[in-house]
Chains A and B, each alone.
Chain A
């Protein structure tokens, strides 16, 4: 049988099998399917961040500061509204602007030749430090109900976060896969040097790209803060790991140049439903057939399973990915 074809089938089928399995885990436990919708809220927020991260990773970069940018934008929102007394709409706009500027600063440093890993590792600490300085380790609460409804309300029967995710996904799919900017990202991720020679305006593209990622983080911060009803100085800590995991699980190549927005949505679906599903089976024990081993599905087992899974998928992607760039 044709080996190349077999590889392709395995590569394409494996994530879908995982998704089907994860969905089964969730739906087998829930009394009715509609009760799944509210559980999507936090994951849709992570999904929007993962879309931006996909664009960054396609270009051969990484952004570890997304969680901190969400925290900082949320802190600015709370601070301007409660301490400075600005109208909430103004504070919200300033929060989105904060995210955009924070991302733009990442892009500026990277366009000067700093490595994305080092730059965003540093700004991860910087932005979360700024948020802590702003809130002085207290939390801001008491937002008006109209704002809280943003995080807990529904639109056409769907949680508001899911609507945001769908809009953002459609926009980014066009931007990444159907514009010149998108083509620049792929060629940057393939070979930075040759992209430069081919006339890609690398510094401009990088600044715009990281600013876009910051804009998305600022936007997500509004929904995130509204859902939690509080702006807290360590709110977004650790988000970046789940965000990157979504991109990797979807099969976008971590070193750049190959992948897609649709793949990240698939990765998000897998990670979200696996984590939800594993917790829904929380007090069950799992029996390995034949071996007689029983594993309690507790918090530690969940971490181990998710970790193993990301490794297996990353390995498969690495070994099964096409040797040369093809059209996703």
Chain B
């Protein structure tokens, strides 16, 4: 064995080198109507999710690819395999070196991403954020493609709960991790809306299961025991909501404790069908990806002016001075959930 090792080593080298020579042929160009741009002048766009390999960002990718083939854009949709901002920073610097025309990022940290986005701007690259925003001042990003204004998400979640429990009772929020910017902003909006419209709804201390579904289930189970009067629970991440629903189901409180929140239809479909989660809220991640690529193109062409306009199949999209807004959140229930594949 030892005698053969050098030969194995050389063979491995040969294999590795052999592999990549095969990849020198460029990837097939996405089909679509890129006719208005001469060949070789297609817009090169890099789109960076918080991480790859989860349902939510896979859906965003589908929409982005749809828009890219409509517009004849060379799209790279790539990201880190864990939600590490440091890897996002490195990838942005690599995309600057590759000479991308536009970069769209969903940052894991609004501050640490900022210097990298600034470097991209200084290199003359069009810079957008989507899904989550970066610090607008220090990053110099031009536009944030906002899936849904924070206040709309907050008030819709609260209204759903208030309607179901009759405007009074004990409730609790189950979030992701303590630092997640989206969730913290939504909770702030929820508290404000509760205080203003439903002072009789009592909010218990928020449960923080750190984006762990099993822990969300366990913490909810414990609370259901400790607070038999609990009227409703919000699970406000795609991971927390199924955990909450499983706990309520296990405790035999389906229909007695109202469960709602934010998640993906595919993740919670079973609970919607059996009545544990009668209604929940989300935007279409596919449309978010689709809109982001359209916005990147419009920005690169310097045609993104404040007002209202259509982007491909999305109609009447609102544009403010530094945001493109997808629209109000969508409410899913047992009647419409089968129409959605994500």
Contacts and interface: CB of A to CB of B under 8 A. Distances in A.
A interface, over-half SS: helix
Contacts of B226: none
Interface string B1-38: 11101100110110011111111111100000000000
Interface stretch (A30-38, A82-90, A209-217): A30-38
Q: Say which size band chain B's interface belongs to.
A: 35 or more
A282 B103 CA distance: 14
B94 A39 contact: yes
B154 interface: no
B76 A283 contact: yes
A152 B20 contact: no
A299 B53 CA distance: 8
A25 interface: yes
Interface string B159-185: 000000000000000000011000000
Given A232-B109, A283-B78, A286-B19, A6 B115 contact: no
Which of B2, B84, B93, B178 counts the most A-chain CB atoms under 10 A from its CB?
B93
Given A10-B5, A35-B97, A141-B138, A284 B27 contact: yes
Q: Which interface residue of B22, B75, B109 has the most chain A CB atoms within 10 A?
A: B22
A303 B87 CA distance: 13
A285 B23 contact: yes
A279 B78 contact: yes
B78 A299 contact: yes
Contacts of B75: 283
Contacts of A9: 6
Contacts of B94: 39, 276, 279-280
A228 B89 contact: yes
A39 to B, nearest CB: 6
A114 to B, nearest CB: 30
Given A141-B111, A283-B78, A286-B22, A21 B16 contact: yes
Interface string A232-245: 10010110000000
A14 B78 contact: no
B93 A38 contact: yes
A192 interface: no
Contacts of A7: 2, 5-6
A288 B19 contact: yes
A286 B78 contact: no
A284 B97 contact: no
Contacts of B138: 141, 229
A285 B24 CA distance: 9
Interface stretch (A50-58, A200-208, A246-254, A312-320): A312-320
Contact of A316 (B5, B26, B51, B77): B5
Interface in A1-38: 3, 6-7, 9-10, 14, 17-18, 21, 25, 28-31, 35-36, 38
Interface string B91-102: 101101111000
5 contacts: A21-B20, A39-B97, A280-B98, A287-B22, A299-B80
Interface of B: 1-3, 5-6, 9-10, 12-13, 16-27, 51-53, 75-81, 84, 86, 89-91, 93-94, 96-99, 109, 111-112, 114-115, 119, 135, 138, 178-179
